[in-house]
Amino acid sequence: MIKTRFAPSPTGYLHVGGLRTALYCYLFAKKNNGKFALRIEDTDQERFVPGALENLIDTLHWIGITYDEGPGRKDPNNKDSEIIEEGDVGPYIQSKRTEIYKEQVQKLMDDGHAYRCFCTRERLEEMRERQTAQKLAPMYDRKCLDLPQSEIEEKIKAGEKFVIRQKIPYGTIKFKDLIRGNVQFDGKTIDDQVLMKSDGFPTYHLANVVDDHFMEITHVIRGEEWLPSTPKHIALYQAFGWQHPEFAHLPLLLNADRSKLSKRQGDVAVEDYIKKGYLREAIINFVAFLGWNPGSGEEAEIFSLEELEKAFSIEKVHKSGAIFNLEKLDWFNWRWKKRLFNAELEKEAKEIDPNVVITEPRKDQFIYTFSDPKNEEKFQKNRCEKLLKICNNSLTKEYIDSEKLMKALLTVEEKILRDPKDIKEQINFYFTPQEYNKELLTHVKMGVDLNQATISLKSGKEDLEKLSDWNLKTLQETLMQTVTRLGVKNGQLLWPLRAALSGLEFSPGVFELAWVLGKDETLKRIETAVNKI
């Protein structure tokens, strides 16, 4: 059975890089019908942060990443509920496992794979300085490697402090990384790592290996910054006589300038993005694509957690660093808002009429066809109210004509979902005609000069005047007939009309504009444009 683990040190917040590791571990386990555990690596007592564990657990829960083993809230939805541990191979919090490490390190010493080192801080510093001056990589010089037993006992009796070091074997240490392929290190270049500190607490290396072994972890998936530690870990597995797990080292996260992602260049805590209002779906989607994609192009980039569970594969994780691009997060957020909004609309449409026909003529643009116009009306009204709510209802006070406001909102639905903040400016032209120059009514590339513009405006007005049933469908039919009657290209009629109705370079299309403005206002605005010319 495949088993992965996420093993953060509780620093006070969940780093986006940590979230990516957790996500990939979760996805890999899911994809392979395996298990996923959370382990807390809190042996560095100097770095203890109160509340960090709780914060980590709550953030993972909010994001929706669940695990089979490890510490969690008794009631995950209640932030006041106590922390309990689930799983058969706990405890999952390293500070509760100190006895296990002591026992294991003793075994290493008995077998000659580890030794006590009594060197003082001063001596080690001096040694390091000497090596640096000689342009050598700083490394422990093994002064204490072969201390006679009697000397060791004397020192202990005298109360001298010691650490326990790993005796790194000579020779090459090789392993196959699932992402990076064959990797090898020369044992001679690896420092005799401290395994147990003088305070009796293990270092990361010892605790990590012992726990991964006893917790039956089959796949260690972690950030590339841990790659240099891996030969030390492999040497430890060998010293213990254990089989080592598979390793997969994930590419670094980089700033746009390719420097290592740092707090100085922006937020790195997941909770900052939660506070800013990003959707959990968008955060997951964004993080999943930091160093991985399914290789099927842009269209397929929107993935829910469930979809990722099916699509993910560790072989497709990239080797090179992944750029942390916040514009991409905004893009995912907007796409997800749309996806969730469309899902809600679909649900409502089906509630109103189980036989509604929903088509998607263009990506993400759905058309809902109801057999009864009353249902259609009800649906569109609900839809408008939803949009109004996203805009915080503040708009209603500004614009008294609420039916017109509702229709206006429908024409800028995309923009509202993207960013409702400046929506007032986006729809203002419906209520207050904009100042513009008559050149706006022309379009050289489309073949619309002032003369053509006048003909188009007048003919459009003529035909629209005759129209009594004013809706999107009839408006489109009428104006397309005008195009045929005049024998012009679509744009030659529609551009000047669109410009006349909006007074803007960019706006919704002409049928929507006329529909929102209503017959009187539409005709009035066309008249104004003709007079302008």
**Catalytic residue set:** 263
Number of residues that bind ligand GLU (CB under 6 A): 7
8 sits near ligand GLU (criterion: CB under 6 A):
yes
Residue type, 129: E
Quick one: 7 or 441, whose CB is closer to ligand GLU? 7
Distance (Å, whole) CA 66 – CA 36: 8
Q: How far is the CB of 236 from ligand GLU (least distance, A)?
A: 12
Q: How far is the CB of 35 from ligand GLU (least distance, A)?
A: 16
382 sits near ligand GLU (criterion: CB under 6 A):
no
Quick one: 225 or 414, whose CB is closer to ligand GLU? 225
Stretch that binds ligand GLU, among 4-12, 249-257, 273-281, 481-489 (CB under 6 A): 4-12
22 sits near ligand GLU (criterion: CB under 6 A):
no
* Interface mask toward ligand GLU for 25-64; x: CB under 6 A: ----------------x-----------------------
Q: Residue 128, exposed/middle/buried by CB under 10 A (0-12, 13-18, 19+)? A: middle
Radius of gyration of the chain (CA): 33
| Edge-to-edge order in the sheet of strand 194-196 | 114-117, 163-166, 194-196
> Which pair of structure tokens corresponds to residue 108?
């290493």
Distance (Å, whole) CA 316 – CA 293: 7
Residue appearing with tokens 């430890």: 236
Residue type, 388: L
CA 523 to the chain's CA centroid = 49
Q: Which of 62, 175, 214, 226 is in the footprint of ligand GLU by CB under 6 A?
A: 226
Quick one: 208 or 482, whose CB is closer to ligand GLU? 208
Sequence-ordered alpha helix ranges (H) in 353-489: 373-390, 395-398, 402-411, 413-418, 423-431, 450-465, 472-486
Quick one: 22 or 448, whose CB is closer to ligand GLU? 22
Length of the chain: 533
507 sits near ligand GLU (criterion: CB under 6 A):
no
7 sits near ligand GLU (criterion: CB under 6 A):
yes
208 sits near ligand GLU (criterion: CB under 6 A):
yes
Q: Which of 219, 222, 232, 383 is in the footprint of ligand GLU by CB under 6 A?
A: 222
Q: How far is the CB of 194 from ligand GLU (least distance, A)?
A: 16
Distance (Å, whole) CA 200 – CA 136: 31
Quick one: 118 or 247, whose CB is closer to ligand GLU? 247
Question: What SS3 state is found at 141?
Answer: coil
Q: Which residues bind ligand GLU (CB under 6 A)?
A: 7-9, 41, 208, 222, 226
